[in-house]
Structure 1
Amino acid sequence: MSDRPALRCVLLDLDDTLLDHRGAVADALDRHDLDVVPARAAGLRAIHLDRHGAGPLDEPERVTTLTAVMTRPA
């Protein structure tokens, strides 16, 4: 873990143990190339919200509605 996130916690007066919960939160993102790929590169769980069927269709975390995001297993 880098010092930068821990420093942010100190500056915001947050408990730095919150940093140990990466992966506990998922973000639904609509642009695979600009949103999903960079979020995953940062270590986040990203669900591709593909409302228009633009793909990639083989994306394992691909959904087409917000309702589907809410019903995905953790």
Structure 2
Amino acid sequence: MNRFVVHKHTQENEFHWDLMIEEANCLKTWRLENPPEKLAIEKTKATPIFDHDKKFLTYQGPVNIGDV
């Protein structure tokens, strides 16, 4: 079973959510415009972005741009 995480990614005065799903060597990642609690009741845009390191399954804190 693949593990996953949803991070709230804060950048200056804005934020979005990153959905990361574990693959063999990385986390496939999509940027979500709506918060996770709305996914079951509203359509949301999920934009694929670059793959992330698996450390983000458990990491919280500063990143290159902002915080997760």
TM over 0.5: no
| Structure of greater relative contact order (alpha carbons < 8 Å, 6+ residues apart) | 2
Larger radius of gyration: 1
Normalization by structure 1: what TM-score? 0.24
Which one has a larger percent helix, Structure 1 or Structure 2?
1
Normalization by structure 2: what TM-score? 0.25
Which one has a larger percent strand, Structure 1 or Structure 2?
2
